[in-house]
Chains A and B, each alone.
Chain A
Amino acid sequence: MHPLKKSRPLRRIVLASAVTASGLVMLLALKPHTAPAIAVAPAPAASSSSGAGSGTGSSGSTATGTKTVTGETAQTRWGPVQVKITVKNGKITDVTAVQSPSDNPRDQEINSYALPELRREVLAAQSSSIDTVSGATYTSDGYRQSLQSALDSAGL
């Protein structure tokens, strides 16, 4: 456009806003909107049910038939995730995160809501097929991986 042509600022503002807003909505709309239910790859070389494999999960058991198994550490983009499960009579009775990303306050904030949510899901599902917690995609993925390796170790 020639710089001397009468410009119409209002028209330009409306146009720019409309294009930007619709561009943003379109980009976001094109992305999937469900939490990805990622298939968990089987843990490599399932280790013996109770022995601690070299560098992999470890487990211990008590006389009452309750046993705790620690899963492998899953490396995520924001840091390592590792879970420990408590199994009683073939049932998962508790899950705790031994490690989770905590380098910055944002991670801690995410952990504070994501970890309890993930724990609740595991206890309900009794398996590693759990939904991703929104806003905690990477932590959820790592959680699932570590959980699966713990389940494998526990022979569940």
Chain B
Amino acid sequence: MTTVYERRTALPVAPAPRRSPAGAVLGLLWAGAAAAVALWWAETGSVVGAAGWLTGVGRIAGLLCGYACAVLVGLMARVPLLERRVGSDRVARWHAMAGRYTICLLVVHVVFILLGYAAQDRASIVHETVTVVLDYPDMLKATFGAVILFAVGITSARAARRRLSYEFWYYVHLLTYVAVFLAFFHQLSLGNEFNGNAAATDAWYALYLGVAALVLWYRILAPVRLNLRHRLRVESVHKEAPGVYSVVVRGRHVDELGAEAGQFFRWRFFGEGMGWTSTPYSLSAPPRRDLLRITVKALGDHSAAVPLLRPGARVWAEGPYGSLTAERRTAQRSLLIAAGVGITPLRALFETLPGDVTLLYRARTAQDLALGAELEAIAQWRGAKVLYALNGPQGQRPSLGPASLREAVPDLAGHDVYICGPHAFAQELYGALRAAGVPDRRIHHESFEL
């Protein structure tokens, strides 16, 4: 009898986190690469002499490069499964990693095919290059495509990226679509594997057209539909802390967007000083019936103009994206750790996350605490705890090591931890949490560091 009671009063069972489809997606992508290599294998009889080896390397690299181009574009097509379930940050990291690899494959493809053909024809490499580029079908287009891809690769390298404006990088990156289109045709007209192989040709068309359809739908048509339907406009702008502003956006049926606390949209504001590029900002409150709110630190470029936004200004939004939501939960207790303006998604989660919630808010001074009053109100309303980690009077940083974390949050290892803040801060906290016994799968974070 008593056991029945005990069972009913025991802690509720920990929620089963929804499994991320990341593993399945990665498996599928690798299987595609294996299929491309298998195509080469099936279509190649023998590899004879130096020319055979060189051309063989060039062909395999070329096939993989062609496949990778489709994957790269597909990963950035803003497919909801990838953006919301796998996570925008993770997909962006895959894209960056695959992008670097693709540029390397492209170099190998170009160099080895030319060396192989030159060896076969007993011609000089210069003569062979001129012949291949000018006389072979579709090769002039493909050469332009390769040059564009190199430019995209160079402008995305870390060293170059730091010196270039976001806008410049972005517009060069957009040329990738042109490059992939230009390079497509030589693959079919000259590819040893596709000539006379209708099945392979059809599969290649299906791959490229499928990716094109994803881009057209999710990058163009879906956002147009969203903005025509919801008609978003700036409602008001509030100052939250020095340099930190909240923007309230009003739209029709905003609650039907399906946005959850912890997610973000990509925003374009139509006003003075606003460029044409979109910027990701997290929702700083759960969506209301016809209101959304973001909180932004005016840093530079686009965000510096945010405080100047006038009520009524038009807004173009794409989303919701991101996977830092309640879905990640594996335990009954959660600890939210925010640094600076990183409070935004965690403020929304602080209101909606089920179970016991503790918020740890790191800022330099009490004046830098944005949204402080509403955090206190939420804490009181739901019986949650807010801890602040401010600098000392002489500016010394508070300790956020394993010992002090464990002391501040009893049963730390039994918590899901959500972290949002600058990358260095998140890495430091990650180290401390691991040392305090929190397992990897319970540390949730979205990082856009590539």
The answer to whether A3 and B90 have CB atoms under 8 Å apart is yes
- Per the CB 8 Å criterion, the residue count for chain B at the interface is 41
Q: Which residues of A contact B53 (CB under 8 A)?
A: 28
Is A134 an interface residue, CB under 8 A from the partner?
yes
Is B55 an interface residue, CB under 8 A from the partner?
yes
> Secondary structure at chain B's binding surface: helix, strand, loop or mixed?
helix
The answer to whether B55 and A135 have CB atoms under 8 Å apart is yes
Is B149 an interface residue, CB under 8 A from the partner?
no
A110 to B53, CA, bound (A): 17
The answer to whether A104 and B137 have CB atoms under 8 Å apart is yes
Q: Which residues of A contact B200 (CB under 8 A)?
A: none
> Secondary structure at chain A's binding surface: helix, strand, loop or mixed?
loop
- Per the CB 8 Å criterion, the residue count for chain A at the interface is 30
Choose, from B306-314, B382-390, B440-448, the stretch at the interface: B440-448
A2 to B136, CA, bound (A): 47
The answer to whether B47 and A31 have CB atoms under 8 Å apart is yes
Choose, from B37-45, B345-353, B400-408, the stretch at the interface: B37-45
A77 to B192, CA, bound (A): 10
Q: Which residues of B contact A109 (CB under 8 A)?
A: 121, 131
The answer to whether B93 and A134 have CB atoms under 8 Å apart is no
Q: Which residues of A contact B120 (CB under 8 A)?
A: 110, 113, 134-135
Q: Which residues of B contact A45 (CB under 8 A)?
A: none
Q: Which residues of B contact A32 (CB under 8 A)?
A: 45-47
Q: Mark A120-139, 1 if CB is under 8 A from B, else 0.
A: 00000000000010110100
Q: How many A-B residue pairs have CB under 8 A?
A: 87
Q: Mark B85-111, 1 if CB is under 8 A from A, else 0.
A: 000011001000000010010000000
Is A27 an interface residue, CB under 8 A from the partner?
yes
The answer to whether A113 and B46 have CB atoms under 8 Å apart is no
The answer to whether A137 and B445 have CB atoms under 8 Å apart is no
A31 to B37, CA, bound (A): 13
The answer to whether B57 and A6 have CB atoms under 8 Å apart is no
Min distance, Cβ B434 to any Cβ of chain A, angstroms: 9
Is B16 an interface residue, CB under 8 A from the partner?
no
Is A34 an interface residue, CB under 8 A from the partner?
yes
The answer to whether A6 and B427 have CB atoms under 8 Å apart is yes
A27 to B427, CA, bound (A): 40
Q: Mark B129-141, 1 if CB is under 8 A from A, else 0.
A: 0010001110000
The answer to whether A105 and B135 have CB atoms under 8 Å apart is yes
Is B245 an interface residue, CB under 8 A from the partner?
no
Q: Which residues of B contact A104 (CB under 8 A)?
A: 136-137, 189-190
Residue of A nearest to B57 (CB): A24
The answer to whether B55 and A35 have CB atoms under 8 Å apart is no
Q: Which residues of A contact B131 (CB under 8 A)?
A: 105, 109
Residue of B nearest to A104 (CB): B137
A106 to B44, CA, bound (A): 18
A137 to B136, CA, bound (A): 20
Residue of A nearest to B64 (CB): A20
The answer to whether B443 and A16 have CB atoms under 8 Å apart is no
Residue of B nearest to A30 (CB): B41
Q: When A2-B440, A3-B93 are in contact, do A28 and B51 touch as well, CB less than 8 Å?
A: no
Is A36 an interface residue, CB under 8 A from the partner?
yes
The answer to whether B47 and A28 have CB atoms under 8 Å apart is yes
Q: When A2-B443, A6-B427, A105-B131 are in contact, do A27 and B41 touch as well, CB less than 8 Å?
A: yes
Q: 21 A-B Cβ contacts within 8 A?
A: A2-B440, A2-B443, A3-B89, A3-B447, A17-B104, A24-B56, A24-B60, A24-B61, A28-B47, A31-B56, A32-B46, A33-B52, A78-B196, A105-B131, A105-B136, A109-B131, A112-B121, A113-B120, A113-B122, A134-B52, A135-B52
Which of A's residues lie within 8 Å of B, judged by CB?
2-6, 16-17, 20, 24, 27-28, 31-36, 77-78, 104-106, 109-110, 112-113, 132, 134-135, 137
Additional 16 contacts, C-beta under 8 A, given A109-B121, A134-B48: A2-B440, A4-B443, A4-B447, A20-B104, A24-B57, A28-B47, A28-B53, A28-B57, A77-B196, A78-B196, A104-B190, A106-B190, A109-B131, A110-B120, A135-B51, A135-B52
